[in-house]
Each structure stands twice: as structure tokens, then as C-alpha cells.
Amino acid sequence: MNILIDLNHPADVHFFRFAIQKLEQQGHKVIITSRDKDVTVSLLDRFQIKHQCLSTASSGLWNMAIELMIREFKVLLICLKEKIQVCAAFTGACTAQIGTLLRIPRLVFYDTEGATLQNKISYPFASKILTPESYKGDLGKKHVRFAGVKELAYLHPNYFKPNPAILEDLAVTAEQKFVLVRTVAWKAAHDKSEKGIDIQTRREIIEKLSPHAKVFFIAEDQLGDEFRSYRLPTSPDKIHHVLHYASLYIGEGATMASEAACLGTPSIYVNSQKPGYIAYEEQAGLIFHLDDREQIIAKALDILNTTDKAYWHQKQESFLKNTIDVSQWIADQITGAVAQ
């Protein structure tokens, strides 16, 4: 079978990584198209996943629309040349429309209800829309749900093995607590009018938490001179090992908050948006959705001073009992799409 998988974001690389391995092991030909956004291309290269980069991420709705049209044209040519039999993507803004034109199955995996623009240009063209059970709303007959969250496709214990060598990179001991703080650039289409951890909150996190744990920052935009000494010193491909050993994650991005939860690290999610999967993990006691500065600091201090990793790993184990092997499910959905 000839399969096209389109990867637009670093999280997409992780989401499909092990499913791609399974498909190739089954003898299928998998064509990967990519987009030069953040560390997407470098991750694919580090994982030695052969891919064709179709465009560089644009900013602004007009430029993004032009980029989408360019990507669609290139995907069309690839589908015709490689005789593609099924298209799959996370969001599917490009592949769903081209798949419809060529009358081949097109699978759209997604988990963010608030991305209304992306959903409007992909959902109507999808053969199937595949989401976590926690997705808010019913998308009709095409809607297929799974037990778990997308981050388990790569962070389930079946696939992810933490490397303690990361502690040396961070210059911390196994007994020393550390906190990871992440801020986002707020440039996505669904980020309009949103905000999270402001400068004063960053300052208070450092002031109040540093006596209890080492503090590291990562940011999509520039941290600036004031916070540069707190920058996380590791490469992006090691971030999940960092999250596994962290005592606490505080961040604006929903994906990384969910990643922390899947790894048994408590997460304080600072964002006015609340997708269904965040609410799902909040019910499991692994995420705390807060936006008030005093509440953030108070909860962080409570976690650092009253709990340990063993406590959170017990919560993680309880959470995992009600989930599936997401990567195997992805591969099965892709191969099953042609058979139907």
C-alpha cells in the first residue's frame, strides 16, 4: 500500500513516528511530507525519517493561505506520482482536500476543538475524523474516538524509555528537584487574543520557586537577557526526558502540559483555552488549569513541598489503565481505511 503522511508541526513527528515504523515493517510504502516549522525538520532528521519538505511556515492569514495552496499543489503532484492510496495527517488542512479531489481515503487526526479555522477547511473533506474520547462535540458519522490522548502515541511506556543521563546535562542530581517553565509565541491561528505567563509571573516563579527547586525556561520566542541564564540547556529532541524527571511543569502550551501528565509529572497549565483532553487529564489529577499568578505560585509550592515523584507515578499508572496503544491504533486505522 502507498501511504502519504503529512507532518506540519514537531508534535506531528512524535505522533506518527512509531506508527510509521509499524507500517513500514508491514511492507507498506510510506511517503512523508513535512513543513519547516520550529524543530519539525530537525526532529525528522534526528530520527532518520526520510521526508520531503514542502514549505516553510508563514505568519499572517494571507501568507498562510498562500503557503497552504503551495503545499496542496505539491501534495497533489506527489499523490499522482507515487499512486498514493490513503492520506493521513494531524489537522489535515492540506491532505483532506487533495484526497477528496483524487477520491482516496483521507484520515484527519485532531484533538483541538478551538482551532475553528483549521477544522473548517479540513473536517468537511475528511473520510474520517479521529479524536480522543474527550473531544468536545459530536462530528457526525465520520467521527471516530479513541481512549487516551495523542501524546500516548509516543510517551506510553511501550515506546518511551527515560534516559537518566539527561540529569548530567541539566547539572542536577537524582534527588534534586527542578521545574520546567514553557512560554509560547501566540502566533497560531487559534491563539488570537490569548495570553498566559507574563513577565511578572516569570519573575515570581524564579523568586518563589528557586529556594525549593532549580528553574528552567524554554520559549518559542526570545526569552530576553533577564531570563537567559535560566534557559534549558538541552536540545529539543531530549525534552521528553527532561519532562519525565522534572518535579513540575508550568506552561502555556496544551501539548506539553499533556506530555508532562502522560509521563507522571504534575502540570500547571496556564492558558484561557481548555481543550477536552486537558479537562480529561485534569480529572485524572495530573493537570491543574490555573491563570491567576498567586494560585500558580501557591499550587507550585504545594506540589514541590508536599509530594514526590512516586505519588505522581501512581496517578500516571491509574490514568494509563484506561487507555489504548495509540500508535498501533493509528497504524490500524490507516491500513483499514483502504480495505473499507
Cβ neighbors of 218 (< 8 A, separation 6 or more) are 180, 181, 182, 183, 231, 232, 239
The 10 Å Cβ neighbour count of residue 270 is 26
Mean pLDDT, residues 234-242: 91
Percentage of residues in the chain having pLDDT higher than 70: 95
In this structure, are residues 103 and 18 in contact, taking their beta carbons and an 8 Å threshold?
no
Cα 112 from Cα 276, distance rounded (Å): 8
Give the residue-averaged pLDDT of 209-215: 97
Q: What percent of the chain has pLDDT over 90?
A: 79
- Report the alpha-carbon distance of residue 332 to residue 88 in Å, rounded: 12
Class of domain 166-320: alpha beta
Confidence bin at 205 (pLDDT 50/70/90): very high
Confidence of residue 116 (pLDDT cuts 50, 70, 90): confident
Are both 2-156+324-339 and 166-320 of the same fold?
A: yes
Residues 290-338 pLDDT 10s: 989 999 999 999 999 999 999 999 999 999 999 999 999 999 999 999 7
Q: Are 267 and 289 spatial neighbours (Cβ–Cβ below 8 Å)?
A: no
pLDDT above 90: residue 84? yes
Domain range annotation of the chain: 2-156+324-339, 166-320
pLDDT in tens, 141-188: 999 999 999 999 999 999 999 999 999 999 999 999 999 999 875 344
Q: Which residues contact 207 (CB under 8 A, 6 or more apart)?
A: none
Residues 2-156+324-339, CATH architecture: 3-Layer(aba) Sandwich (3.40)
Q: How many other CB atoms are found less than 10 A from the CB of residue 48?
A: 6
When pLDDT is averaged across residues 16-22 and rounded to a whole number, the result is: 97
Backbone angles phi and psi of 218, in degrees to 5: -130, 150
pLDDT band at 339 (very low <50, low <70, confident <90, very high): low
Residue 11 vs residue 84, higher pLDDT:
84
Residue 100 reports pLDDT greater than 90: yes
Task: Over range 123-139, report the average pLDDT.
Answer: 95
Q: Which residues, 6+ apart, have CB-to-CB distance to 151 below 8 Å?
A: 14, 255, 258, 259, 261, 262
Per-residue pLDDT at 191: 42
Residue 240: per-residue pLDDT: 95
